[in-house]
């Protein structure tokens, strides 16, 4: 990391930023190949000799990025308490409240409107979803019941997304096992 030029307390994640920048190069390689392939008949043409350089560049760039990123992650220290506090802020469970209402039979558009009003109320009163009482929730929609407390728990919200690519522990661990199996690495 390096320090910020204006904020002395800030640390910039140089490696992550540089790797993020490499996506432009890989996209450039992709577009070079797509442009090359555009309009070609279904057989081999000499034009295709030009696909090797962007293809190999993209593969080499991705391999290098993965190697460097792996080293960076291994050296990264996470402040779990700070991460948890940050995750609880910013109304990260507002979508869960909207989904809760949909499960109660409220059309999504109306659910979205209700949750928008709840969030606006919280912002105005400098509070959060987990600090509202059941009575507070019921001021916005009478159908809220005591189970809303469970719905807005961060752990519940994270673990409710069990689909592929989801945040549930089971989904994440399943993906890790899949990657380990296909890569041969642990």
Residue 130 near residue 119 (C-beta atoms within 8 A): no
Q: Are residues 147 and 94 in the same domain?
A: yes
What is the pLDDT at residue 4? Answer: 66
Q: Are residues 67 and 8 in the same domain?
A: yes
> Looking at residue 115, which CATH number applies to its domain?
1.10.40.30
Is 73 inside a domain boundary? yes
pLDDT, one tens digit per residue, over 136-162 is 999 999 999 999 999 999 999 999 999
Q: Is the pTM of this model over 0.85?
A: no
Residue 150 near residue 160 (C-beta atoms within 8 A): no
- Token reading at 179: 């990657």
Domain ranges, residue 125? 87-152
pLDDT, one tens digit per residue, over 18-48 is 999 999 999 999 999 999 999 888 887 888 8
Q: Are residues 73 and 91 in the same domain?
A: no
Question: What is the per-residue DSSP string for 117-181?
Answer: HHHHHHHHTT--GGGS-HHHHHHH-TT--TTHHHHT-HHHHHHT--STT-SSHHHHHHHHHHHHH
The domain boundary, picked from 59, 77, 95, lies at 77
């Amino acid at each position: 990391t390096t320090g910020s030029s204006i904020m002395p307390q800030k640390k910039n994640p140089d490696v992550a930023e540089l790797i993020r920048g490499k996506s432009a190069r890989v996209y450039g390689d992709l577009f070079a190949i797509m442009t090359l392939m555009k309009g070609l008949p279904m057989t081999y043409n000499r034009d295709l000799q030009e696909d090797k350089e962007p293809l190999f560049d993209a593969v080499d760039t991705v391999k290098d990025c993965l190697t460097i990123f792996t080293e960076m992650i291994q050296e990264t220290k996470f402040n779990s308490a700070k991460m948890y506090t940050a995750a609880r802020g910013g109304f990260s469970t507002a979508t869960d409240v909207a989904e809760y209402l949909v499960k109660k039979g409220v059309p999504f558009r109306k659910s979205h409107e209700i949750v928008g009003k709840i969030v606006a109320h919280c912002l105005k009163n400098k509070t959060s979803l987990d600090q509202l009482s059941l009575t507070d929730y019921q001021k916005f929609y009478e159908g809220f019941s005591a189970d809303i407390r469970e719905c807005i728990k961060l752990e519940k919200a994270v673990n409710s997304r069990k689909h592929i690519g989801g945040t549930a522990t089971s989904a994440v661990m399943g993906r890790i096992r899949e990657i380990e199996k296909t890569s041969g690495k642990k």
